[in-house]
């Protein structure tokens, strides 16, 4: 927080304040949060979650690697080809679900050469996906040396009028080997972030991974910026968005699987990125998304799952509760931010008034003291404003992020329900086929009997396979969710602990400044004679 | 809903708006007690005196706000006192703020936890008590201003106010007279034009006029801004309360280690709220109340200038009348007498006015000094409390 203070004292106007204010400090703050992971704490936990099982099925599936077409071209992503020790089994898992004839497959909404729709294109890298029994340790090692810094900065407006957009500089500094360089700088626009999230969600959500949600769109906010309003609210909006984008990326790379995802790597490293047009709110894909969301909601209501595992029931209830509690806490903090801003404005207003009073006062010593009082109050109003930024960026935005994250967590539980439903449906179909087979004995004409029997036999085999697959998928997603939830809870506790302390420290700083200002004023007051 | 107040130490703190009071042991007045019954506040006015003009050496009477207003108005209307700054009437007790909040709290009771509700109720009661204390103080100071003034303390109506053990309502204004008061206020703004228009020969009064006219606007504005600032401060304290409640809610559900952590955080916010609240109230008492009081006092000083300006106008008119009479050769003696009286009145007002305005300035400066020092010391004290509270909590949270 110290750099924030420095910035605040250096800049005079409130406008320039925003452009430098929280950026560095928040980035460093979030970074510290991720760096402060205690390596020792992680050692025991991963083993028990049976992660070796994750990848059993992976190697049995020969299906398409879920990679974007660009990855397949030899010109990109060089070093990863060379590294055979990369526990890329996680990607293998990603390939599993892309069964092109699966009836429940959701349309993939990332654009450009969409990977899932591209028929079986086996990248040479698939062979590199060695099954690694040491995944646990690798994941921990990753966390131990979680050496990656990401910053989103320098928002720039490109173009004019309604077609204008903001471009942000995304800088990645890392010593991790999966990156091609130590330091990369790329330019990205908001829809690129949305596109990234979209791809990640479609790849990983159905497997039970908690994919961090992207920052929210804001048509009103963006329109103001496009139209060229250079006022305080536009500047604040851009800063708020910039900070949100930075947190989004940091959270994404904190996830061990997502960190290695080629889309993520491409996002961070490639100088050119195909434009994600399908992320626009009113595009065809956008509408399709809404339709799917509605369908999901209906499904949720109609799927009555036979929960055999109390853990899931408990956890779901817990997350429901947490959702309510966090929203309430968030609302209180938002109120604090608002009132603190008001306090700042009112203090400034009083300061001016006190200065005028001091000018009017005809007793010299009192006049001087009143002017000094005005100066103190002016400094205090700046203090209040700084504190309101701390209120906002440290706590309010974090809570907002977690409210959205919880939605993602709840989504993952829904995915498990869907997997269960699919499995059950397959069982029902299998049963029907078996019944049909039994009936065949009496129904068909003798000459057609053999053909019919063969057909039905084939179908039964097919559905038996599907039932097994369904069961495996369900168990898989259940395991994944357990692990993800464990990770989420740990992160949540860690985040809150760190942030609360940072926030209290910001309050300490404010109070110490107050003491300083008032102690300087006291002799002035005493000097009135 | 009856509340009573009888704490000396607090009142001692609050008396700083006007400092040179109750110095004379021959007449000591205070309000040791007050009851609040619905809308009406009953003040117990207690007098200790060595003056023979009173029947007893010590006595108490119950008085209502309207009785104070009656006393103020009769003094204002007394011709003899035209050359004095008349202590401003105390404002009507205003419980509207906390009452409205209490009402809102009742409506929102279902949406908050029992603890939160209890806390907010406690706070509102404290706010109510603060308003109550303030109104007692301001009524008390009014009486003490009168008792410490050489002329007012001898006023017959003042004695009646202090001593008369029956209800004063018979003597209070009836509706017509109150309406008259309303007209008086309208005439005041005409007076403002009058005194700004008057050609002043006396340098002292010229300066005073310019000063008072400008200062009264500025201090009124400063009072309003200080009020807004204090209100915002209280809102922030309220938010800390809500956050504390929400944290406790979240703690109820969590696993053990984190639960303790959250509860500790909730506790920190609760304590912060208390400090923030105290900061806001002290600022209100020392700064806002000071400004409010002197806004009224400045108005009283301006009133003195109006009266003097009117006397000057009367004198100038009497001069014109005398010239006219001399021209016509009619009623000259009468006109001469009138002119002589107008001059006398004007001179008397100027002489006492000068004294009053000079001592007023001295009084104002001393009061500002005292209050600004006290406010600053309290701000520092509260901020230091906050720091130690926060640092202590940070240590505990880090070690958890």
pLDDT tens digits for range A490-526: 999 899 999 999 999 999 999 999 999 999 999 999 9
pLDDT digits (tens, 9 = 90+) for A10-40: 333 333 333 333 444 444 444 344 444 433 3
Q: In a 10 Å sphere around its CB, with 0-12 CB exposed, 13-18 middle and 19+ buried, how is residue B2 labelled?
A: exposed
**A328 contacts B246? CB cut-off 8 A:** yes
- pLDDT reported for residue B133: 83
Residues of A in contact with B236 (CB under 8 A): 336, 339-340, 343
Percentage of chain B exceeding pLDDT 90: 56
Range list of H helices, A128-189:
135-144
- pLDDT reported for residue A399: 94
Please name which of B299, B300, B292 lies closest in space to residue B76, comparing C-alpha atoms: B300
pLDDT digits (tens, 9 = 90+) for B50-101: 998 999 999 999 999 999 999 999 999 998 999 999 999 999 988 887 888 8
Please state, in angstroms and rounded to a whole number, the distance separating the CA atoms of residues B221 and A353: 7
- pLDDT reported for residue B113: 75
- pLDDT reported for residue B128: 84
Element (H, E) at A351: helix A310-360
- Residue A274 confidence (pLDDT) above 70: yes
Query: Residue A325 is nearest to which of B226, B250, B387, comparing CB atoms?
Result: B250
| DSSP helix/strand/coil, A86 | coil
pLDDT digits (tens, 9 = 90+) for A459-500: 899 999 999 999 999 999 999 999 999 999 999 989 999 999
Query: Residue B368 is nearest to which of A342, A362, A528, comparing CB atoms?
Result: A528
DSSP string, A326-346: HHHHHHHHHHHHHHHHHHHHH
DSSP string, A368-432: HHHHHHHHHHHHHHHHHHHHHHHIIIIIIHHHHHHHHHHHHHHHHHHHHHHHHHHHHHHHHHHHH
Q: In a 10 Å sphere around its CB, with 0-12 CB exposed, 13-18 middle and 19+ buried, how is residue B11 labelled?
A: middle
Q: In a 10 Å sphere around its CB, with 0-12 CB exposed, 13-18 middle and 19+ buried, how is residue A44 labelled?
A: exposed
Average pLDDT, chain A: 74
- Residue A88 confidence (pLDDT) above 60: no
Query: Residue A329 is nearest to which of B224, B250, B368, comparing CB atoms?
Result: B250
Mean pLDDT (whole number) for A127-132: 32
pLDDT digits (tens, 9 = 90+) for B292-326: 999 999 999 999 998 998 898 889 899 999 999 99
Please state, in angstroms and rounded to a whole number, the distance separating the CA atoms of residues B340 and B347: 11
Mean pLDDT (whole number) for A322-346: 95
Dihedral pair phi/psi, residue A63, rounded to 5°: -80, 180
Measured in whole angstroms, the distance separating CA B276 from the mean position of its chain's CA atoms is: 24
Higher pLDDT, A339 or A58: A339
Backbone φ/ψ region at A21: left (φ over 0), alpha (ψ -120 to 50), beta: alpha
Please state, in angstroms and rounded to a whole number, the distance separating the CA atoms of residues B167 and B34: 16
- Residue A118 confidence (pLDDT) above 50: no
Please state, in angstroms and rounded to a whole number, the distance separating the CA atoms of residues B25 and B153: 13
- Residue B221 confidence (pLDDT) above 80: yes
Largest pairwise CA distance in chain A: 122
pLDDT digits (tens, 9 = 90+) for A301-314: 666 677 778 889 88
CA distance A355 to chain B (A): 9
- pLDDT reported for residue B111: 76
Residues of A in contact with B384 (CB under 8 A): 511, 515
- Pick the range with the lowest mean pLDDT from A103-112, A376-385, B134-143, B287-296: A103-112
- pLDDT reported for residue A138: 42
Please state, in angstroms and rounded to a whole number, the distance separating the CA atoms of residues B217 and B208: 14
Instruction: Tell me the β-bridge partners of A173.
Output: A149, A183
Mean pLDDT (whole number) for B208-224: 94
Please state, in angstroms and rounded to a whole number, the distance separating the CA atoms of residues A211 and A202: 10
Query: Residue A508 is nearest to which of B225, B368, B387, comparing CB atoms?
Result: B387
Q: In a 10 Å sphere around its CB, with 0-12 CB exposed, 13-18 middle and 19+ buried, how is residue A145 labelled?
A: exposed
Please state, in angstroms and rounded to a whole number, the distance separating the CA atoms of residues A212 and B366: 62
CA distance A331 to chain B (A): 9
Mean pLDDT (whole number) for B32-47: 86
Largest pairwise CA distance in chain B: 106
- Residue A434 confidence (pLDDT) above 60: yes
Mean pLDDT (whole number) for B120-140: 85
**How many CB pairs lie under 8 A apart between chains A and B?**
155
Beta-carbon count within 10 A of A293 CB? 9
Higher pLDDT, A79 or A480: A480
- pLDDT reported for residue A409: 94
Token digits of residue A154: 């320098």
- pLDDT reported for residue A100: 37
Strand B27-37 relative to strand A183-189: parallel, antiparallel, unpaired? unpaired
- Give the pLDDT band of residue A6 (cuts 50, 70, 90): very low
Residues of A in contact with B231 (CB under 8 A): 346
- The shares of helix, strand and coil residues in chain B, as percent rounded to the nearest 5, are 75, 5, 15
Which single residue is written with the structure tokens 């006092």? B297
Its pTM stands at: 0.76
Please state, in angstroms and rounded to a whole number, the distance separating the CA atoms of residues A42 and A48: 11
Higher pLDDT, A235 or A172: A172
Q: For testing the chain B interface, which of A504, A522, A524 should be mutated: the one with the most B CBs within 10 Å?
A: A504
Token digits of residue A458: 């084939």
Mean pLDDT (whole number) for B341-354: 93
Percentage of chain A exceeding pLDDT 70: 66
Higher pLDDT, A175 or A284: A175
Higher pLDDT, B188 or A241: A241
- pLDDT reported for residue A109: 35
- The interface pTM score, or ipTM, of the predicted complex is 0.87
């Amino acid at each position: 927080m110290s750099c924030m203070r420095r910035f605040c004292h250096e800049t005079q106007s409130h406008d320039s304040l925003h452009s430098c204010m929280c950026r560095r400090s928040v980035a460093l703050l979030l970074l510290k949060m991720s760096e402060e992971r205690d390596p020792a704490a992680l050692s025991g936990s991963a083993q028990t979650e049976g992660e070796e099982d994750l990848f059993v099925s992976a190697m049995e599936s020969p299906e398409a690697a879920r990679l974007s077409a660009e990855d397949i071209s030899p010109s990109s992503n060089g070093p990863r080809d060379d590294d055979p020790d990369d526990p890329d089994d996680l990607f293998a898992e990603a390939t599993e679900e892309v069964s092109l004839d699966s009836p429940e497959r959701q349309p993939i909404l990332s654009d450009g050469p969409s990977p899932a729709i591209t028929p079986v294109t086996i990248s040479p890298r698939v062979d590199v996906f060695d099954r690694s029994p040491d995944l646990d340790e690798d994941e921990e090692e990753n966390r131990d040396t979680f050496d990656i810094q990401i910053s989103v900065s320098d928002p720039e407006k490109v173009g004019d009028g309604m077609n204008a957009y903001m471009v942000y500089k995304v800088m990645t500094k890392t010593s991790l080997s999966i990156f091609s360089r130590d330091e990369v700088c790329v330019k990205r626009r908001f829809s690129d972030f949305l596109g990234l999230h979209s791809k990640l969600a479609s790849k990983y959500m159905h497997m039970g991974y908690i994919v961090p949600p992207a920052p929210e769109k804001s048509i009103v906010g963006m329109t103001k910026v496009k139209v060229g309003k250079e006022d305080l609210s536009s500047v604040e909006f851009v800063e708020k968005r910039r900070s949100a984008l930075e947190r989004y990326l940091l959270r994404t790379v904190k996830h061990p699987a997502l960190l290695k995802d080629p889309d993520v790597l491409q996002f961070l490293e490639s100088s050119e990125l195909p434009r994600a047009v399908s992320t626009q709110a009113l595009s065809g894909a956008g509408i399709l998304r809404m339709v799917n969301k509605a369908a999901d909601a209906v499904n949720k209501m109609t799927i009555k799952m036979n929960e055999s595992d109390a853990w899931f029931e408990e956890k779901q209830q817990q997350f429901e509760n947490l959702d309510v509690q966090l929203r309430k806490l968030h609302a209180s903090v938002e109120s604090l931010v608002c009132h603190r801003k008001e306090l700042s404005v009112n203090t400034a207003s009083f300061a001016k008034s006190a200065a005028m009073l001091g000018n009017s006062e005809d007793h010299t010593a009192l006049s001087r003291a009143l002017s000094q009082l005005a100066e103190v109050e002016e400094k205090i109003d700046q203090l209040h404003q700084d504190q309101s930024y701390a209120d906002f960026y440290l706590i309010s935005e974090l809570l907002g992020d977690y409210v959205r994250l919880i939605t993602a967590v709840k989504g993952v539980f829904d995915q498990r329900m869907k997997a269960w439903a699919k499995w059950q449906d397959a069982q029902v179909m299998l049963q029907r086929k078996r019944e049909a087979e039994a009936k065949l004995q009496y129904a068909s004409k003798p000459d057609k009997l053999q053909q019919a029997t063969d057909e039905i036999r084939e179908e039964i085999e097919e559905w038996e396979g599907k039932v097994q697959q369904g069961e495996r998928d369900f168990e898989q997603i259940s395991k994944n969710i357990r692990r993800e939830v464990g990770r989420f809870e740990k992160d949540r506790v860690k985040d809150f602990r760190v942030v609360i302390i940072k926030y209290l420290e910001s309050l300490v700083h404010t109070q110490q400044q107050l003491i300083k200002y008032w102690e300087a004023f006291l002799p002035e007051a005493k000097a009135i004679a | 809903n009856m509340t009573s107040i009888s704490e000396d130490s607090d009142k001692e703190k609050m008396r700083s708006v006007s400092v040179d009071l109750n110095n004379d042991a021959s007449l000591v007045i205070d309000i040791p007690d007050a009851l609040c019954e619905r809308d009406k506040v009953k003040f117990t006015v207690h007098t200790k005196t060595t003056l023979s003009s009173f029947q007893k050496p010590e006595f108490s009477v119950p008085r209502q706000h309207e009785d104070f207003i009656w006393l103020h108005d009769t003094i204002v209307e007394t011709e003899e006192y035209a050359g004095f700054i008349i202590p401003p009437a105390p404002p009507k007790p205003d419980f509207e703020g906390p009452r409205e909040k209490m009402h809102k709290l009742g409506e929102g009771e279902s949406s908050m936890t029992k603890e939160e509700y209890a806390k907010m109720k406690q706070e509102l009661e404290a706010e109510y008590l603060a308003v109550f204390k303030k109104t007692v103080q301001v009524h008390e100071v009014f009486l003490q201003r009168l008792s410490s003034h050489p002329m007012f303390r001898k006023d017959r109506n003042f004695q009646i106010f202090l001593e008369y053990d029956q209800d004063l309502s018979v003597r209070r204004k009836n509706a017509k007279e109150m309406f008259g008061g309303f007209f008086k206020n309208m005439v005041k703004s005409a007076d403002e034009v009058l005194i700004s228009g008057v050609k002043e020969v006396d340098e002292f009064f010229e300066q005073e006029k310019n000063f008072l006219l400008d200062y009264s606007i500025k201090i009124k504005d400063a009072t309003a801004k200080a009020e807004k600032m204090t209100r915002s401060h209280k809102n922030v304290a309220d938010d800390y309360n809500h956050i504390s409640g929400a944290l406790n809610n979240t703690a109820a559900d969590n696993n053990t280690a984190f639960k303790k952590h959250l509860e500790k955080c909730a506790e920190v916010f609760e304590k912060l709220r208390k400090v923030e609240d105290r900061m806001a109230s002290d600022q209100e008492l020392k700064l806002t109340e000071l400004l409010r009081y002197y806004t009224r006092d400045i108005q009283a000083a301006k009133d003195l200038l109006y009266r003097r300006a009117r006397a000057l106008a009367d004198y100038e008119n009497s001069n014109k009348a005398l010239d006219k009479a001399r021209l016509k050769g009619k009623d000259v003696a009468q006109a001469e007498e009138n002119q002589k009286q107008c001059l006398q009145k004007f001179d008397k007002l100027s002489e006492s006015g000068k004294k009053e305005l000079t001592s007023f300035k001295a009084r104002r400066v001393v009061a500002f000094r005292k209050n600004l020092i006290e406010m600053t010391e309290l701000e520092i004290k509260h901020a230091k409390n906050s720091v130690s509270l926060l640092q202590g909590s940070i240590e505990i949270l880090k070690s958890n």
